[in-house]
Chain A
Amino acid sequence: MSSSRIARRMADLKARGRKALIPYIVAGDPTPEVTVPAMHAMVEAGADVLELGIPFSDPFADGPVNQRGAERAIASGMTLPGVLKAVAEFRQTDTETPVVLMGYLNPVMAMGEAHFCQEAKASGVDGLLLVDVPPEEEGGLVASAKSLGLDMIYLAAPTTTDARMSLIGKATSGYLYYVSLKGVTGSSKLNTVEVAAKVDAMRAHVSAPICVGFGIRTPDDAARIGAAADGIIVGTVLVSQMESLANRPADVPAALKALLQPMRDAMDQATVADV
């Protein structure tokens, strides 16, 4: 099996000494029309992989900012088939940037797990990250995804034991998403030294690239955490921006670019300084 678009992208970044910048937005937030232009804008600002949120009514692992993002998206009429349509449209002009769908299991079950995987693949989706599905659950869905070459990305947390880290390390493909904080998305206490130590310790169990999310808000956070890992995931700060532009959706792409570009620059400078 040829390697996935995510694996190729990660290998390429490693070869170039560049850390992955992975932004997250909720598809359909604040309107369905803005999603594809927003995706392109984030790539132009230096995003290496895109995480696109599938809106869900009861996102209990997310904080209030992301929950409101999901609520706006649902209110705007976004559905899971709508998310897939957005990815297909994005793929018409960008065949290189990997897209990961992130969300909760129930909308996927509503569509039918196997049917969803086929449609996701056909739309140009590269990976799935289902927040409420640990590696112990949903063998059938995972088999469907893998048989189509979709990466299954799993989470690790500060509370994850060594025994589980080994299980997660074997299960995850594409990259591992390390949740750097106890708490929900949008939490605010981040300790770079702790994160760096944890990432190093995880390498014993995880061969996939390790990307770190939760609590990254500023270019400085991005640079420091980026230096300690293979990449960073930035979500709440972007969704928060969507909220303030909810009535001016046309301004969203430029605003996302303005937030991400300084993060990209700070990460690239840190990497150069590191070498």
Chain B
Amino acid sequence: MALTEEELRTLTYEPDAGGHFGVYGGRYVSETLMAALSELDQNYQMLKNDPEFQRQFDHDLATFVGRPSPLYHAERWSKQIGGAQIYFKREDLNHTGAHKVNNTIGQALLAKYSGKPRVIAETGAGQHGVASATVAARLGLECVVYMGADDVERQSPNVYRMKLLGATVVPVDSGSRTLKDALSEAMRDWVTNVDETFYIIGTVAGPAPYPQLVRDFNAVVGRELKWQSKDTFGRYPDALVACVGGGSNAIGLFYPFLRDTEVEIYGVEAAGRGLSTPEHAAPLCAGRPGVLHGAKTYLMDNADGQIAHTHSVSAGLDYPGVGPEHAYLKDIGRAKYVGASDAEALAAFHEVSRVEGIIPALETAHALAYTKTLAAQMRPDQTIVCNMSGRGDKDIFTVAKMEGISLT
């Protein structure tokens, strides 16, 4: 139920002790994992206030990732659209090419502090897998990455990157052979090897405390933007836009601004072939509450509660669930969730490449597509910050193939 503006300005936006954001989130897992989750929660609650842990995290973000990421004024594109001034928060310039590394640095440090020699991860587009393999290599941890067999095919450059970094990539053949199946498989591994294994979840989904800790590690994006926007144009942005698959880049951008209700917040889901067709991946726009992979949240299922096969041109958004905090922000009315179709995302992918000299990830292209629509409705003295969550190098093969161009 939507809250008043006064309520939205004063909420803590923190989960309760059981990891619930309103009615969403929680810990919907089998008993075998409950002890591991509560151990992780205790370690995290202790370390997040530990100055030494924070110092090391900040140091790694600065020297290994290359933070802070710039705030870039997309002047030509803004002028062409003729509405609001559009800025990009350049997460695509991070080491490994996306926001994902912010979280993997944090979780790998947690793994190290918890004394776990082995990390596992699931990946869709491969960005989280690459980021996990990267930090595992750096910290000398064994790394196993689960990836849907279809995604292995459509993201082969990232598969090779993970292998170069010393990780083992396990293709998952069950179910729809995409991200949701990779996540199930990673949870199975974790249940079996729980004593020596740390599960690095790649998004703000999964059982508590993952949605909270992944958010906190990515919130560096929004925190930087707070001072960068003041330095650059003297105030906070009028609107924030980010793509939402699981929703980690979005929550990282949004979270520090949640109480600043003058800032409008838009999450953009993958509308695939259209929200009126079954072929999309937009649970917040067109799904309903349910439970998947350890959390209560909006998801896409059929009348009998079987999880739907989703579709999106971008592997990273091709997931039937979404982080529980987004479900909460939708219900209380703090954020608006909209869809961008495959075609709209592809058009934005080309447009931003040509006009701004930045090839965005296909995931990010969904946020760009909506940014264009929104900017056109706003005045030139207003500002939008769109999270440039990842770079598009990994996607050039997919796009070329769709356009009938052979790169080999």
Contacts and interface: CB of A to CB of B under 8 A. Distances in A.
Q: Kindly name the residue among A108, A137, A187 whose own CB sees the greatest number of chain B CB atoms within 10 A.
A: A137
Given A155-B30, A183-B192, A60 B174 contact: no
Interface string A39-59: 000000000000000011111
A208 B291 CA distance: 28
Nearest to B34: A134
Nearest to B188: A184
A67 B291 CA distance: 18
Interface of A is mostly: loop
Nearest to A74: B306
Given A63-B188, A157-B32, A164-B35, A111 B27 contact: no
A159 B192 contact: no
B304 A107 contact: yes
B314 to A, nearest CB: 21
Contact of A132 (B29, B181, B194, B195): B29
A84 B175 CA distance: 25
Size bracket, chain B contacts? 35 or more
A106 B307 contact: yes
A183 B302 CA distance: 29
B305 A179 contact: no
A136 interface: yes
A46 B323 CA distance: 46
Interface residues of A, number: 44
B272 to A, nearest CB: 19
A195 to B, nearest CB: 15
A132 B175 contact: no
A80 B304 contact: yes
Interface in A69-115: 71, 74, 79-81, 104-111
A71 B175 CA distance: 8
A184 B305 contact: no
Given A56-B305, A58-B175, A107-B305, A159 B36 contact: yes
A259 interface: no
Interface string A108-145: 11110000000000000000000111101100000000
Nearest to B181: A58
Contact of A161 (B35, B183, B306): B35
Contacts of A105: 28, 290-291
Nearest to A214: B32
A168 B31 CA distance: 10
Contacts of A228: none
B295 to A, nearest CB: 10
Contact of B191 (A59, A79, A183): A183
B305 A64 contact: no
A24 interface: no
B292 A79 contact: no
A55 B302 CA distance: 13
A156 interface: yes
Contacts of B195: 182
A133 B28 contact: yes
Contacts of B293: 58, 60
Contact of A137 (B27, B174, B306, B307): B27
Interface of A: 55-61, 63-64, 67, 71, 74, 79-81, 104-111, 131-134, 136-137, 154-161, 164, 168, 179, 182-184, 187
12 contacts: A57-B307, A60-B184, A60-B293, A106-B305, A109-B290, A111-B304, A132-B28, A132-B291, A160-B35, A168-B31, A184-B188, A184-B191
Interface of B: 18, 26-36, 174-175, 180-181, 183-184, 187-188, 191-195, 289-294, 299, 301-307
Given A71-B175, A182-B32, 11 more contacts: A57-B307, A61-B187, A63-B188, A67-B174, A105-B291, A132-B294, A136-B27, A137-B18, A157-B31, A158-B32, A164-B34
